[in-house]
Amino acid sequence: MEKIIIEKIVRVTKNRKKLEEKLGVRIENRGKEVLVSGDAEDEYTAIKVIEALEFGFPFSTAILLTDENFMFEVLNIKDHTTRKDLAMIRARIIGKNGKTLKTLSSLTKCFFELKDNQVGIIGDPEYMKNAEESVVLLIKGSKHSNVYSHLERHQVKPVIDLGLRGEKK
């Protein structure tokens, strides 16, 4: 049984039935405390999904973490800059009408979400490195066009399936 503290408890309680059904765990809450019980592997996956939900990802994106081909990473903006105007940096990452985030999503095949001074990324581990690099470049002040061209030059080549991966259930 794992216990985590969550600020946005409504996002979990609203989706509790779907979470329990898809993850194969039992979820209980007392105030902001969430108890997850089940198999150890299922508990770990459930906690990752709940953390993604709390971060602000929609349910459809957060549930992708049940697939072993997806992972969830959080970048702290303060770790990559000494500037004090963090609102300007967040604005650079979001872009006008969210255009920068949409472009980053399409170029990296990852999902992005901002919360306070953190950037959450959900995606395939192969694409995650490019996604993290692009966000760090934007934080450090690189031009948007330079970041986009960097991503286009460093696209991950599709992996040819040789039948070595296990069958999907």
Q: 23 and 90 in one domain?
A: no
Q: pLDDT confidence of 138, banded at 50, 70, 90?
A: very high
pLDDT tens digits, 13-66:
888 999 999 989 999 988 889 999 989 899 999 999 999 999 999 999 999 999
Tell me, yes or no, whether 113 and 142 share the same domain.
yes
pLDDT of residue 120 exceeding 90, the answer is yes
CATH number at residue 26: 3.30.1370.10
Beta strands of 10-160 (E only): which ranges? 26-30, 33-37, 71-76, 111-115, 118-123
Residue 158's pLDDT band, with cuts at 50, 70 and 90, is: confident
Number of structural domains in the chain: 2
Asked whether the predicted pLDDT for residue 153 surpasses 60, the reply is yes
Helix orientation angle between 99-108 and 86-94, rounded to the nearest 10 degrees: 60
Average pLDDT across the chain, whole number: 90
In-domain check, residue 14: yes
CA pair distance 95, 102, nearest whole angstrom: 9
Chain centroid offset of residue 30 CA: 26
Q: Which token pair is 50?
A: 């709940």
